[in-house]
A = this chain, B = another copy of it.
Amino acid sequence: MSAFDDLLAYDQTTQALGQVAGRLGWDQETMMPRGAAAQRGEEMAAMESVLHARRTDPKVGDWLAAIDAGALAAVDAAKLREIKRSYDRASKVPGDLAAQIARVTSNAQGKWAEAREADDYAAFAPVLAEVIALKREEGAALANGGDIYDAMLEDYEPGTTGADLEAMFGALRPALTELRAAILDKPAPAGVAGRFDEAAQLKLSTLLAETFGYDLTHGRIDKAVHPFSSGSGSDVRITTRTNPEDPFNCFYSTIHEVGHACYEQNIDDAYLLSPLGRGVSMGVHESQSRIYENQLGRSRAFTRWLYGQMRDAFGDFGIADEQAFYAAVNRVSNGYIRTEADEVQYNLHVLLRFDLERALMSGDLTVGDLEAAWNDRFEADFGYAVDKPSNGVLQDVHWSVGLFGYFPTYSLGNVYAGCLHEALRGAVPDLDAQLAQGDTSSATGWLQDNLQVHGSLYEPREVIEKASGRVPGPEPLLAYLTGKFSGIYGL
């Protein structure tokens, strides 16, 4: 066996163990008895220690040093690239620092939940300061003299820098605040009314999952507090949730997670448990969930089909016709919470976080000034004041657990989805006729063939560019949003 073969065999076991750790996380959110949390913490820590030891094993370094990268074919070179990235990343962070971050963020998450409950930012600030200090130390170790925030982005979106994002997002903020204001000047469309039976919601949710190509012989759907997708290869599970008064919460959560899950299910089987057998980045992942959910699932054509399904399942629910249903699905209204935001306002919530967390990492913003900075920025973009911290700076879990560099991948995913959607429309001219019949196969098939099948073969921006035929940029997303919402609201 060559060093490369040895490395791949070793890595396959590591990949399999990573899948096991992911399954434990799924179990924790869906099946675990509530009294098992402390023991589960020990089990997760044991898995993490095994994974960390394998990722930083000196054997891996020896193999990497012995391999002649120039002699490898393209697929093997991509595998080597991914393994090397993981090894370099894991080896740069001292074990003590990694362990301390794990401990501090575990505690900080609890403190954050308490502070949010009490609407008391001051109670959270000291522990957030501790998290940020440790993450900056980690970032400095990773950056090796370079930009700390850029080093953190590498964990979620390899090859993209803060400056790239700033440029890509630069056009979004003014255009979206303007579009938002124009929409909110118009009368709000009616929403759905009544109560929607949970079993009927879950039944239609499963139909939607299958309609978008989710393979239930290699997955399953369960209920959880927060919808998520979990796993790669032949075992990719999703969760959803129900709200008796808002069936769209269930349906669009499902379609969103199906986008993530289909990306994982549709990767080339040859890459199973190899470094290429997973989605390549958070941004590309989010592009799939968002294009399934929004550009396809919230389109005029698809909502026509969904309207019929909902009438069959629930009878009359206060929406008179297809056009009114389309407007209800795409309703824009004021709100403080990112996760509840519509397509127009969602990215404004994310851009706010991106700018603030980048300033926190550079040191330009302190934890003491964060709440005021959040509130000022929110009022500037949305036109009204944050009423309490749980509707503002305390609303998201991310920073408490040390996720810096993660937020912008949400908007990057939307930008990527815009590019892909533009290309898809060109490739499938009669897409709307199909969607109106509840047939997504041309759309999802195009995404599978042009993007999903590649897994981590190409770098994130590379695979978006190959699939969409253009350098990723915000223009298609803005054109799509402006066109869609001008139509709905008569702008």
B-binding residues in A (CB < 8 A): 12-13, 16-17, 19-20, 23-24, 27, 31-36, 38-40, 42-43, 45-47, 49-50, 215-220, 233-235, 237, 272-273
Asked if A234 contacts B17 (CB within 8 A), the reply is no
Asked if A46 contacts B31 (CB within 8 A), the reply is no
Asked if A43 contacts B16 (CB within 8 A), the reply is yes
Asked if A273 contacts B220 (CB within 8 A), the reply is no
* A233 touches which of B19, B39, B233, B272 (Cβ 8 Å): B39
Kindly state the separation between the CA atoms of A234 and B32 in the bound complex, as whole angstroms. Answer: 10
Kindly state the separation between the CA atoms of A39 and B278 in the bound complex, as whole angstroms. Answer: 14
Asked if A42 contacts B217 (CB within 8 A), the reply is no
* A20 touches which of B33, B34, B46, B219 (Cβ 8 Å): B46
A88 to chain B, nearest CB (A): 23
This chain's copy number in the assembly: 2
A50 and B220 in contact, given A31-B31, A39-B235, A235-B40 (Cβ under 8 angstroms): no
* A19 touches which of B32, B38, B43 (Cβ 8 Å): B43
A23 to chain B, nearest CB (A): 7
Kindly state the separation between the CA atoms of A39 and B42 in the bound complex, as whole angstroms. Answer: 25
* A39 touches which of B27, B216, B234 (Cβ 8 Å): B234
A37 to chain B, nearest CB (A): 8
A31 proximity list for chain B (CB < 8 A):
31, 220
A465 to chain B, nearest CB (A): 31
A233 to chain B, nearest CB (A): 5
A215 proximity list for chain B (CB < 8 A):
35
A23 proximity list for chain B (CB < 8 A):
24, 27, 43
A20 and B20 in contact, given A33-B216, A49-B13, A218-B36 (Cβ under 8 angstroms): yes
Asked if A20 contacts B47 (CB within 8 A), the reply is yes
